[in-house]
Structure 1
Amino acid sequence: MSYPKPERGIWTDQPASCWEDALVSGNGRHGVLVYGDPIRDVLIGNHCRLYLPQGNSYQLPDLAPFLEEMREIIQKKGYKEAIAYHYVKAKIQGYQGLTMSDPSHPGFHLQIETDHHYFENYHRSINYQTGELVIAYDEKEQSYIRKTFVSQKSNQIFHYLSSGTYKIKIEDYQNQYMSQVVTIYEQTMHIHFDYLYGDGGYDVMIKVTGDGITPLSNRKGFELRSEQAFLISMEIIPYSNPDKRGIIKLDKLKEKSYEALFLEHQVIHQDMFDRVELSLSSDDQRKRSIWELVAEAKGQNRMTPVLLEKMYDAGRYMFICSAGELTPNLQGIWTGTFHPAWSGDFTFDTNVELSIASALSSNLLEGLEGYFRLIKELMPGFRENARFYYGARGVMASIHSSNSGKHVHWNQEWPLHLWTCGAGWLAHWYFQYYRFTGDQLFLEKEVIPFLEEVVLFYQDFLIEDPTGVFRFSPSYSAENGAADNATQDVAVAKEVLSNLIESYQLLNYPKEKICQCEKMLDKMPSYQINEDGALKEWLTPEQEENYNHRHFSHLYPVFQSREFNEETDPIMWKAAKTAFEKRLEAWLLNEEGDTSSTHGRMHSALCATQFHMPDLIEDIFRLLIKNNCFYSSLIMSHYNEQEIFNVDGNGALPQVVHEMIIDYSNDRLTILGALPKSIPYGEIRGVRLSKQITVHKVVWDINKKRISLELESPIQQKMKLYVPLFPQAKHHQQWFSLDQNKRLHLEIEW
């Protein structure tokens, strides 16, 4: 029997042998993984709130009294001695050393066993457009189907089993950090979990609807036997303490079929997915199996249009599934292990920022609500970090967080507590949300208060050189070394102050507030250029450049804040591009590079869009394919060869696509600024840009030398058209106006 193949999604005829290769779905609160084979499938339920307390201390050492002495050691002996001094002072106070955040963990494993001994015509698929997972196969000339989705309507996981004989069993986790009790009554299984090193826990309710349902003898599952289909409804409810335990009621679903429940969900999910559409291929191409498409791309040694379209869709699908109550963590909203890499937490020195990179431009604005909620929940810890480490008001973000915003993830080898620009980088998305929406209430109630807390930290933390220029000391360029005045520290502070000034001006705040920020901005260190002609990563002479590294922190003014470009500051732009090229030579395009991180490749691509380097984007896409950096779901891996399930690359890839097709900053609209030769024609619809611009469509055909563009804005504004790859194009470098609420059509030819 043949089964429908999703056009916007993936399918394969190969079962999944590990959870990382599972089918995935989610609704921003619950997630589900489905893997295995028809003889023994496994459903793993996930929830965005499940982080397992390990009993670690989150008491911060009070190092503020030693800050001045540490600074003196930095000046006289250097950072190695200063960090050692700091660490000794911390240990004397009982600091336990580098501590991982509480890890993300699965909520339950539900095993589904059959009496089958073989199967054929196997097919499993994800429909990105609807969020439905399908497994279908034949056994003894009979067809079976299993379908799963996570409802955007009722916030539950639903699984459909066609008629047959099954055993469903809950796995006993036997975990030293929590207790598990299973209770069965009628057709419902209740699993209660208490955290042994924390006040919280969670409950799982699994209800089976259908005929022929009998509890297993061990009372940890059911035997199902019927000529009618079964519906399994699953829900996880975490609680912060026993008094806040929720009561889960699944009876309300008794009268609804799988189809009715799915249709209610589909309307919501598909509305979000369909807001933006990239078209590079045909329907026939889209229906090919994912591994056939990958093999074709490997054979051609390049990203093919249809595979790029699939990966683009996968990135937006990841965000829709993972962003809701909170923001995606390192693994989105999914895990099948109690020991995920880096705790599967919220890592703020590049990963969270990449995972949300395309949220605004993909018109998934509601997805950032969980990001803002998470930051608000972590703020008490962020304030303690500022006070205990630097005696400062305001906030200092941790690099790793889950249940707490307190920063205990550091030691002598990894002095991550010296990285003070994290809160400022997080603030970027607050002001960007305003720029995309024009929401002045959000600007007043959320953006300005957060920016002010970041500036409070700078007011207390920054010191002045004899010349009156601010000095960031201590300072750290993420995971690449410590030296005063890391370029990213300066770039982030400049962006924070500039955005706060603009916010004050927009809402007519007193001039004194604006002047105070302007004075701070005037005292910022100038960027520096080294003997290679490259923008320096540290603005002090004692630290040498390390080009062989996966982080691109010093290029923050290029890929994130858009502080300057080739027109506004050509000298610094050239230096930044030289620094980028040095990184490419030593790391990205060097087979002996220090690691193979996907997040480094994505930041490379985001820089390449700004430097108008389409061939480099081709190389980055090719590296992802060549080195097997994604699973069958198209969720990416952190390293080559499918090592470590990680979603930051998924979140960033749609933004790379948007920027290489249409991009806006500094009053300049860039068209096809980094379009690879491998996609000579295509269409994109629905992209959002800064300053409230909606891109109704961009249609291009390089062979016909034609671009069609349709824009709209709710506000009157002017911008300059820029077509860097085709400078002979009509309207290139010309200014034009967007009239309020009127669509603008442009035909660009050359």
Structure 2
Amino acid sequence: MLNQLPKRGIWTDQPASKWEDALVSGNGSHGVMVLGDPVHDTIIGNHCRLYLPQGNSYDLPNMAPHLEETRKIIREQGYKQAIHFYYERAKELGYQGLTMSDPSHPGFHLHIETDHQNYTDYKRSINYQTGELSVSYQVNEQPYLRKTFVSQDCNQIIYYLSPGCYTIKLEDYQHPKIKQSSIVDQQTIHTHFDYCYSEAGYDVFIDVITEGAKLLSHTVGFEVNSENPVLIRMDITPYKEKTDRKVIRKPLSYSEDYSTLFAKHVAIHQEMFERVELTLATDQERQQPIWSLVEKAKQQRQITPVLLEKMYDAGRYMYICSAGELTPNLQGIWTGTFEPAWSGDFTFDTNVELSIAAALSSNLLEGLEGFFRLIKELMPGFRENAQKYYGARGVMAAIHSSNSGKHVHWNQVWPLHLWTCGAGWLAHWYYQYYRFTGDKLFLQHEVVPFLEDIVLFYNDFLMEDPDGTYRFTPSYSAENGAADNATQDVAVAKEVLTNLRVAYQILGYPEAKVKRCQDMLGKMPSYQVNEDGALKEWLTPDKGENYNHRHFSHLYPVFQSREFNNETDPAMWQAARTAFDKRLEAWLLNEEADTSSTHGRMHSALCATQFHMPELIDDIFRLLIDHNCFYSSLMMSHYNEQEIFNVDGNGALPQVVHEMLADFSNGRLTLLGALPPSLPKGEIKGICLPNQIIVHRLTWDTEAQQLKLQIVSKIDQEVKLYFPLYPEVEENNQRVTLQQNKQVSFVMNLLK
């Protein structure tokens, strides 16, 4: 009956003192947070669609008529004056200034109270492998157990209590922007939430399945005294309009017990989790309490294999829990507050992209369905952004979105309306989905239309210099400053056009369409190198560099699109490496800089995998540990010292691990390309690579100087093996023919 400590998961001997440190689980629609206090416990129910309308206007000012004047001011006076002009015209048209998205919020707080003050042998845990949360303790040698999961089968939050006496109470939010009303029918609580500033809302159903339940007199809930386990089933049903509310009725029966419900759930969750497996530790090491593992890593001044394995598992667990109906927002699928930082929304200038970074390589394709669904739902706003701000057809993504895709998050200090490459960056995952799966139906019906919409925007937005070269004006390098031709703008446009051209060729579209893409690519500005030998962040001579910054936007050709490498363009590759080194010196490794951004560290690590810098990856992992950038669940914080619950780092970390072990781009399979010294041996199974390559098993032992590899390709192709850290490997730079669905095995000596 006592808590079985998870091998793939975490445990600690202290209850959570704040919602951020709660145990977490989810199924892509519902989320749950459990604080785990034996005396005053709290269960927080979450749902991916709960965003609280604030009553703000999302009407966009029609700024298209002022675009030419704005461009003229940029040319003659500069960006500061142009941004001021633009902002003043927008206010004259009723623009209210920088506006946050409607914030993510919790669905309910359910409180469980007991008289168990004198408890002992306390443990709480998350089993990443099964999605089950457990809390165990003893009172007078009597064991008590609480278990929770969010069912992948019946789409409910399921909660189990040992036999005993409990007070179960639903919190009355009393929020000024929500109307809450409850009715109790026998042992079912139905609570209805109406939003004050929209026709939307949601219903909460809580069924307390037990004998001996008595209705509380002054609050919504029950007094329970049961000699049998108590089962609580909870669900949240959102709606956009009152006419969308589902039929409200009491369930006919609940005959299934906890074990039966859990068995159905775990069959789904565990299969997803076990598609990929990283092995760096023993079972004995894995079963140590999480904060002991963290303390040992701090003492050793580097990540330990067992802690990295758990952080890797936590990242994939976050994605399984948070992706499905939609995609993870800044906080995944969890929140315990009505005022989350940055609204806890979908932030598209780096955070969403990092949160889904490992979805494809982790073989969690169903999670990306939620990403694609979200983009479709936001598309009307994206179209209006393009039309109202730039008089353009096609689409322009907002930087912040929740209930709307309209872009109202900008002002003079943060001129985010000048960042026009967001839709193109989002489209990266559309085309990559095709590369990983070979799904031509998806390529034709989803990828091509989205890419065409983005190109349609470029057709109307881009200007031409006298020599015929395109000019991106206005242009912005998020969130580091404005100047014409931000390098990321150019890099994203080149990726969009290249992918569309190749898609046309694969699908047999008319040659004229292929040629149009090629002609536009030929007009793109060339990348530039500054006096330091670094790739410039803005491709214009009058804009200098700001190396001390958390964003790595201008390195998009390296960490995201893989436009070039040391073989395809050695000069530009070296310039990009120099730009990266400058960023490291001024920002990441500068003790006087504001380096506490977890997303910046993750982008640093993704660049380090490409530049084959294993020691730097160890440094980045160490920074996360030394500065306490995660909670006991191993969900991460945006800033140092557990400040602001954010999961983009969790989403990116498995991708860092995958890329440092096995990576594929430009026809080259890179093996152990950035393996840090802290990981002398290990094994990974099941990771997916572009071009439909699957790494069935990769085992390495640097002390024994041996690597074993088993890979399979779903298509016939030829790849080149590359060992940048082991140049004397016999197979280095050899070409290997992969035949469709035939496994190929290698045993290689790791010689430097």
The verdict on how the C-alpha distance between 1:236 and 1:2 changes in structure 2, with shifts beyond 3 A counting, is closer
Where 2:68 maps in the other structure, the secondary structure is: helix
Deviation of residue 249 (structure 1)? 5.5
1:269 aligns with 2:269: yes
Unaligned runs of 5+ in 1: none
Where 1:432 maps in the other structure, the secondary structure is: helix
Superposed CA offset, 1:229-266 (max 9, x none): 10000000001111111135663561100000000000
Matching residue of 1:523? 523
Where 1:37 maps in the other structure, the secondary structure is: coil
| Aligned ranges 1:233-244 → 2 under 5 Å | 233-244=233-244
Matching residue of 1:222? 222
Where 2:35 maps in the other structure, the secondary structure is: strand
Matching residue of 2:54? 54
Matching residue of 2:489? 489
Deviation of residue 116 (structure 1)? 1.8
The verdict on how the C-alpha distance between 1:358 and 1:252 changes in structure 2, with shifts beyond 3 A counting, is farther
What's the TM-score once normalised by structure 1's chain length? 0.99
Superposed CA offset, 1:618-652 (max 9, x none): 00000000000000000000000000000000000
Where 2:495 maps in the other structure, the secondary structure is: helix
Superposed CA offset, 1:303-356 (max 9, x none): 000000000000000000000100000000000000000000000000000000
Contact 2:70 2:86 in 1 (8 A): yes
- Aligned AA for 1:263? A
Superposed CA offset, 1:128-173 (max 9, x none): 0000000000012111000000000000000000011110111111
Deviation of residue 36 (structure 1)? 4.5
State the distance in 2 between where 1:11 and 1:623 align. 23
State the distance in 2 between where 1:661 and 1:201 align. 46
- Aligned AA for 1:164? G
Deviation of residue 741 (structure 1)? 1.0
Superposed CA offset, 1:97-124 (max 9, x none): 0000000000000000002222110000
The verdict on how the C-alpha distance between 1:680 and 1:250 changes in structure 2, with shifts beyond 3 A counting, is farther
Contact 1:720 1:736 in 2 (8 A): yes
Matching residue of 1:30? 30
State the distance in 1 between where 2:141 and 2:655 align. 46
Matching residue of 1:431? 431
Matching residue of 2:610? 610
Contact 1:612 1:673 in 2 (8 A): yes
State the distance in 1 between where 2:684 and 2:299 align. 27
Matching residue of 1:4? 4
Matching residue of 1:534? 534
- Aligned AA for 1:51? Y
State the distance in 2 between where 1:516 and 1:218 align. 71
Matching residue of 2:314? 314
Matching residue of 1:580? 580
| Aligned ranges 1:387-466 → 2 under 5 Å | 387-466=387-466
- Aligned AA for 1:334? W
Contact 1:392 1:460 in 2 (8 A): yes
Contact 1:207 1:250 in 2 (8 A): no
Contact 1:424 1:492 in 2 (8 A): yes
Matching residue of 1:371? 371
Matching residue of 1:659? 659
Where 1:411 maps in the other structure, the secondary structure is: coil
The verdict on how the C-alpha distance between 1:133 and 1:36 changes in structure 2, with shifts beyond 3 A counting, is closer
How many residues are aligned here?
750
- Aligned AA for 1:231? L
Matching residue of 2:512? 512
C-alpha RMSD of matched pairs (Å): 0.8
Deviation of residue 678 (structure 1)? 0.8
- Aligned AA for 1:511? E
Contact 1:435 1:692 in 2 (8 A): yes
1:151 aligns with 2:162: no
State the distance in 1 between where 2:560 and 2:253 align. 46
Matching residue of 2:72? 72
- Aligned AA for 1:616? L
Deviation of residue 219 (structure 1)? 4.5
Unaligned runs of 5+ in 2: none
Where 2:385 maps in the other structure, the secondary structure is: helix
Where 1:531 maps in the other structure, the secondary structure is: coil
Deviation of residue 553 (structure 1)? 0.1
Contact 1:11 1:290 in 2 (8 A): yes
Contact 1:205 1:248 in 2 (8 A): no
| Aligned ranges 1:164-179 → 2 under 5 Å | 164-179=164-179
What's the TM-score once normalised by structure 2's chain length? 0.99
Contact 2:91 2:97 in 1 (8 A): yes
State the distance in 2 between where 1:94 and 1:435 align. 45
Deviation of residue 289 (structure 1)? 0.5
State the distance in 1 between where 2:576 and 2:250 align. 57
- Aligned AA for 2:634? L
State the distance in 2 between where 1:321 and 1:34 align. 15
Matching residue of 1:187? 187
Superposed CA offset, 1:663-695 (max 9, x none): 000000000000001111100000000001111
Matching residue of 2:564? 564
The verdict on how the C-alpha distance between 1:252 and 1:627 changes in structure 2, with shifts beyond 3 A counting, is farther
- Aligned AA for 1:411? N
State the distance in 1 between where 2:126 and 2:370 align. 24
State the distance in 1 between where 2:35 and 2:284 align. 27
State the distance in 2 between where 1:645 and 1:240 align. 27
State the distance in 1 between where 2:637 and 2:249 align. 37
Matching residue of 1:285? 285
1:87 aligns with 2:102: no
Contact 1:184 1:219 in 2 (8 A): no
Deviation of residue 581 (structure 1)? 0.4
Contact 1:17 1:36 in 2 (8 A): no
Matching residue of 2:696? 696
Q: Percent identity?
A: 69
Contact 2:36 2:135 in 1 (8 A): no
State the distance in 1 between where 2:266 and 2:554 align. 43
State the distance in 1 between where 2:252 and 2:318 align. 29
Contact 1:18 1:36 in 2 (8 A): no
State the distance in 1 between where 2:117 and 2:124 align. 19
State the distance in 2 between where 1:548 and 1:316 align. 31
State the distance in 2 between where 1:246 and 1:390 align. 41
Where 1:298 maps in the other structure, the secondary structure is: helix
Deviation of residue 294 (structure 1)? 0.3
State the distance in 2 between where 1:368 and 1:714 align. 21
Superposed CA offset, 1:386-440 (max 9, x none): 0000000000000000000000000000000000000000000000000000000
Deviation of residue 218 (structure 1)? 2.0
Contact 2:3 2:134 in 1 (8 A): no
- Aligned AA for 1:376? K
